[in-house]
Amino acid sequence: MVGGRARARSPRQLTSDPEAWPEHPSPDPGAEAVRQIARTLGQALADQGLSLRAAAAGSGVNRQAIADLLGGRSWPDVATIARLNAFTGIRLWPQQPTCDRKREQ
């Protein structure tokens, strides 16, 4: 499976408190990126007064795929993020590194 065994679990399951998604960070860099994308997208939709149905119609992304992304139940692909980014006009990909790499000396 692409992404290894970590992707067998949803992004929200890789946080310290899955019930508090997307508020609690994740030590997994992939899940943390999805969490930050979900937070940014959710805020953008709220700020613009957009429903999931309107976001789906405007972006070309399936409504359930958007709901699953926001809920931390799926691992969105690059095309999904690109379409939602273009539709909202908001940069969805995290601007800061999502984790620090530990370097062995």
Mean pLDDT by 10 residues, the chain (105 residues): 67 94 93 96 97 98 98 97 97 72 41
Residue 55 has what pLDDT? 98
The full set of domain ranges for the chain reads 19-88
The tokens of 65 are what?
């795929």
Distance of alpha carbon 52 from alpha carbon 43, whole angstroms = 12
- What local confidence, expressed as pLDDT, does residue 4 receive? 59
Report the alpha-carbon distance of residue 75 to residue 46 in Å, rounded.
22
How crowded is the C-beta side of 82, counted as CA atoms within 13 Å?
3
Element (H, E) at 8: none
Q: What's residue 97's pLDDT?
A: 53
* Identity at 103, one-letter amino acid code: R
Q: Is 21 left (phi over 0), alpha (psi -120 to 50) or beta?
A: beta
The CATH H-level (homologous superfamily) assignment of domain 19-88 is: lambda repressor-like DNA-binding domains (1.10.260.40)
4's torsion region: left (phi>0), alpha (psi -120 to 50) or beta?
left
Instruction: Write down the pTM of the prediction.
Output: 0.85
So what's the pLDDT on residue 89? Answer: 96
What is the structure's pLDDT at 102? 47
φ, ψ (nearest 5 deg) of residue 48: -90, 0
| Residue 1 confidence (pLDDT) | 44
